Amino acid sequence: IRRADLAAHMTGTARSAETRATAQEIGLVDQVFDTAAEAVVDADLVVLCVPVGAMEAVAREIAPHLAPGATVTDVGSVKQAVIDSVAPHLPAGSHFIPGHPLAGTEHSGPRSGFAELFDNRWCILTPPEGCDPAALAHLTQFWRGMGANVDLMDAPHHDLVLAVTSHTPHLIAYTMVGVADDLRRVTDSEVIKYSAAGFRDFTRIAASDPVMWRDVFLTNKDATLEILGRFTEELFALQRAIRQGDGALLHDYFTRTRAIRRGIIDAGQDTDAPDFGRVRKHGADS
């Protein structure tokens, strides 16, 4: 926001005194308040950046203190649950436009942000029907100002797409690291020592914030279970092919998946590796 001078004055808050002190110390915002109720007074734009399961409590707290005509948005990884829990509490005359930047790392807290985080990444907005066009245009410009590309979607579609591209992959990473941990005799030495790229990536993902991801799965339950069901079917098919020595099936399968990866790279969306590098370079928590 500072890089592109998108706000005249930025306020912020966090639940713990320690986080608020850190935010103050590193100059993350112009003014840090003890409560969300104080932080939103006179704000044109309010961005809720809490775990999905905490959105409702924060919405209840800020609602009586919002300026008339304020725009309220969020960055939660699930959208329908946020709409259901936040919208009923906001006053008439405010504009609620949920959002989700598809950018982040396994790190949390005020020291984990860096100005380039949203550069050339997608931010999906899920405006409700009848949403104020001027408020939507402003919010779109806000995200573009931070370097993101903006797309619009309805919330259920967002939740299904993200179940495929983010939520289920995270669950699989958590599971794989859990499996390795169960094999204690391997974990204690060899898994760490000989950790090849695949498992290393899983451990990075599985180091993500437990509260945030607990809430993602609790609130995007149906879509995640749907994708997990399909994942399990495919896994069983591959398991059978391995048992039966069906090399042709495995080869065909891996040829198809390789083409998908190449499609992602051709579309300019292969941002994982540079992103990881950026986190290190910009000194986020490690």
Ligand X SMILES: NC(=O)C1=CN([C@@H]2O[C@H](COP(=O)(O)OP(=O)(O)OC[C@H]3O[C@@H](n4cnc5c(N)ncnc54)[C@H](O)[C@@H]3O)[C@@H](O)[C@H]2O)C=CC1
Q: How far is CA 114 from CA 33, 81, 137, 176, 281, in A?
A: 22, 28, 25, 29, 10
The reply to whether 104 sits near ligand ENO by the rule CB under 6 A is yes
Give the containing element (helix H, strand E) for 12.
strand 11-13
Q: Alpha-carbon distance 73 to 136, whole Å?
A: 10
State the nearest-atom distance from the C-beta of 73 to ligand ENO, in Å.
Answer: 15
The reply to whether 195 sits near ligand ENO by the rule CB under 6 A is no
**Closest of 101, 105, 113 to residue 77, by C-alpha:** 101
Q: Within 13 A of 224's CA, how many CA atoms are on the CB side? A: 18
Phi and psi torsions of 123, nearest 5°: -125, 120
Kindly give the pairing relationship between strand 71-74 and strand 45-48. Answer: parallel
Identified binder of ligand ENO from the candidate list 85, 105, 140, 224, rule CB under 6 A: 105
- The binding track of 12-51 with respect to ligand X, each residue x by CB under 6 A or -, is --xxx--x-----------------------------xxx
How many helices (H) does the chain have, and how many strands (E)?
14, 8
CB atoms within 10 A of CB 101: 18
State the nearest-atom distance from the C-beta of 27 to ligand ENO, in Å.
Answer: 25
* Residue 47 contact, options ligand ENO, ligand X, none, Cβ 5-8 Å cut-off depending on partner type: none
Identified binder of ligand X from the candidate list 11, 85, 105, 140, rule CB under 6 A: 105
Q: Closer to ligand X at the Cβ: 109 or 169?
A: 109
DSSP category for residue 63: G
State the nearest-atom distance from the C-beta of 268 to ligand ENO, in Å.
Answer: 17
Q: Closer to ligand ENO at the Cβ: 14 or 117?
A: 117
Tokens encoding 119: 């550069």
State the nearest-atom distance from the C-beta of 121 to ligand ENO, in Å.
Answer: 9
| Amino acid (one-letter) located at 60 | R
* Residue 166 contact, options ligand X, ligand ENO, none, Cβ 5-8 Å cut-off depending on partner type: ligand ENO
Q: Closer to ligand X at the Cβ: 109 or 187?
A: 109
- The binding track of 51-80 with respect to ligand X, each residue x by CB under 6 A or -, is xx-x--xx----------------xxx---
- The binding track of 65-94 with respect to ligand ENO, each residue x by CB under 6 A or -, is ------------x-----------------
